[in-house]
Structure 1
Amino acid sequence: METMDSGVQPKLIRDLQVRADYGQIYIYSAASFDDDPQVSLDALEDARGSRRFVGTAGAGGFIDLLTPGQWNWKTPVRIEVFPAEPKGDTDEWEHEVDVDLDVPDGRLWFEPAGGSGNAVETKVPAGEYRVRVSGRGFAALGRAGAEGSDSYRLRLWARTTDAPAALRKFWSGWENYR
């Protein structure tokens, strides 16, 4: 059981711009993801089937983040790494999910689905993490495009045990997702 420490401050903050395409952003560590195309299909099915719209697959090394818009070439993503679970701020976000992610080599990649652009790499301390994926600024499904106002934050903290993915807050716009 993870505990929340409200006084914990991030030890690393990084702001990125990544590409979203086909309504998805792949987030992974190449060291724990073997580039098997079935992994991305499994993560997509997990995202849709669970109705979390954040799916995992590949033994903790791959996340498929679904986005309301079909594409956005300049999607803002903030990475925050904490020594312990951070204080919750769910009210500031429209959708929020906790998942496990392993980053054994300290290199985290963000890639648009469909091979439509270069992956963006960032470095974080190597480790096994619990990740809180938060999103906001959502427009109607399929309407965002390059001028989309959606943005995301990933808060990472070390985990000692594996835990199932957990939906913390649901954006009602996902109800129209087919």
Structure 2
Amino acid sequence: MTSTDTSPLAQLLDAARGPLGPRIDLDLGHTDGPLGELAQLLSTLNGFTVFNAGIQLFHAGPTGLGPELQRWNTPSTWKDTYAGQADGLFCFAQDLFGRQFAITGNHDIVTFDPETADRTPIGTSLEGWAAWLLADPDVRGAHSFAGAWQDRHGPLDHHQRLIPLRLFTTGGGYDDDNLVAKDATTCMRIRGPFASTIHDLPDGAQVHLMPDQPHTTDAGADGTQIAYAELDVFADYNSFFVQDETVRFDPDDWTMPLINDLIAGDNGVFGVGTARRTTVPVILDVRTTAPDDNFDDWDHVTEAGLRTTTGRIIVSMLNYTPSIPRTTIPPGDYTARVYAKGFHTISDDGRFGDDLYHLILWPGDIHPPRVLKRYPGTLPGG
């Protein structure tokens, strides 16, 4: 590659910032095909960023800035969370949001979507990859967006990418409130289980983000369980509501109780305060009898009540669209107890964590909202 070479890859290199690692003579086991091209490229410029770091090509070797090529492709780094959906990919670069650029079989270059695990062919050479990027740097390389975001928030570390708090595939947007800079490996591992779950599902199918079945001592194995649902609830403003699907109400007066007590309610509708303002795992567990009063495994326990005339329950942030799942139970009045845990896992910015909200309902009186066990600490992030 010479300064007079006007090939797409040469144009990309002219705009690049690098190297990200020291000089290396790289051998990837091939002298031709995309792997041969990649070895030659990294032996010339060992890693770089381009388009205001909207695109990052990994460096090779034990020292350098950002992810290292071979380690990035080790299954235990992040691919193991994709349940086989990332097998056969040799990822060599990524965009601002962690979309991977990968070589398959040393003959094709594809994009790999971290939220869906979908692969999209874009060429058969690095020259083709560079031409594809240069055809639309703002859309394919996040050029303008990367520059504008870093102007507002400061430069990204070479190990960081942006991840949405509410995933793009579940309706999340590109606004500042929904994006956070996070270690690139962590970004991939967060989305792996979700992608492996939805990859082969038809459009419109209901999916769940909850990684593990929670431990409960009396979850209805004796036939006492009426209904059970594992839900992923977008807790905008650090809260969500449990209600009959036909009820409409104004929760403005509930703001302080939801902040202070993580519970509020009136007239057979109740709201739950959460430790994070993002999608959180919620168990809706409806039984014929009350649960026990052992709160040892829980950080915060509250109680309220629910009245349903239709027997169709929604758990959401004032979202009544058909996409919100309905749980069917017998109409009537229910006592509701909310068990919450995992508060010690919440990140300092209050955005990430392994918190869980287990809602147990049983036929009974509608209690005024009350705290049965209070979390003794202050939640991170506020």
Q: Which has a greater percent of strand?
A: 1
* Structure 1 segment 126-165 matched on structure 2, within 5 A: 126-138=331-343, 139-140=345-346, 143-145=349-351, 147-159=352-364, 161-165=365-369
Shift of 1:43: 2.5
Change (3 A) 1:55 1:174: farther
Shift of 1:119: 3.7
Contact 2:254 2:265 (8 Å CA) reproduced: yes
Matched, 1:65 2:272: yes
Scaled by the length of structure 1, the TM-score of the pair is: 0.74
Please report the RMSD computed on the Cα atoms of aligned residues, expressed in angstroms.
2.8
Contact 2:348 2:380 (8 Å CA) reproduced: no
State the distance in 2 between where 1:105 and 1:114 align: 17
The answer for unaligned runs of 5 or more in structure 2 is 1-221
- What residue in structure 2 maps to residue 18 of structure 1? 233
Letter in 2 for 1:29: D
State the distance in 1 between where 2:348 and 2:328 align: 31
State the distance in 1 between where 2:371 and 2:362 align: 17
Q: Which has a greater percent of helix?
A: 2
- What residue in structure 2 maps to residue 52 of structure 1? 261
Once the two structures are overlaid, the 10-residue window that deviates more, 76-85 or 7-16, is 7-16
* Structure 1 segment 1-178 matched on structure 2, within 5 A: 9-31=224-246, 33=247, 35-36=248-249, 39-48=250-259, 51-57=260-266, 59-60=267-268, 62-71=269-278, 73=279, 75-112=280-317, 119-138=324-343, 139-140=345-346, 143-145=349-351, 147-159=352-364, 161-174=365-378
Contact 1:8 1:84 (8 Å CA) reproduced: no
Contact 1:22 1:113 (8 Å CA) reproduced: no
Change (3 A) 1:81 1:113: closer
Change (3 A) 1:177 1:45: farther
State the distance in 2 between where 1:109 and 1:174 align: 29
Shift of 1:136: 0.8
Shift of 1:175: 7.3
Counting matched residue pairs gives 158
Contact 1:68 1:142 (8 Å CA) reproduced: no
Contact 2:282 2:359 (8 Å CA) reproduced: yes
State the distance in 1 between where 2:381 and 2:261 align: 11
User: Which has more radius of gyration?
Assistant: 2
Shift of 1:98: 0.9
Change (3 A) 1:26 1:162: closer
Letter in 2 for 1:143: D
Scaled by the length of structure 2, the TM-score of the pair is: 0.37
State the distance in 1 between where 2:380 and 2:349 align: 13
Change (3 A) 1:126 1:149: same
Contact 2:348 2:381 (8 Å CA) reproduced: no
Q: Identity over the aligned pairs, expressed in percent?
A: 22
State the distance in 2 between where 1:114 and 1:29 align: 12
Shift of 1:177: 8.8
Change (3 A) 1:175 1:20: closer
Change (3 A) 1:8 1:42: farther
Contact 1:78 1:153 (8 Å CA) reproduced: yes
Contact 2:275 2:379 (8 Å CA) reproduced: no
Contact 1:132 1:155 (8 Å CA) reproduced: yes
Change (3 A) 1:9 1:88: farther
The answer for unaligned runs of 5 or more in structure 1 is 1-6
Shift of 1:133: 0.7
CA deviation profile, 1:118-170 (whole Å, cap 9, x unmatched): 6443222222000001111124587342x4311111110111x4432221111
Change (3 A) 1:103 1:140: same
Relative CO higher for 1 or 2, CA cutoff 8 Å, sep ≥ 6? 1
Contact 1:100 1:130 (8 Å CA) reproduced: yes
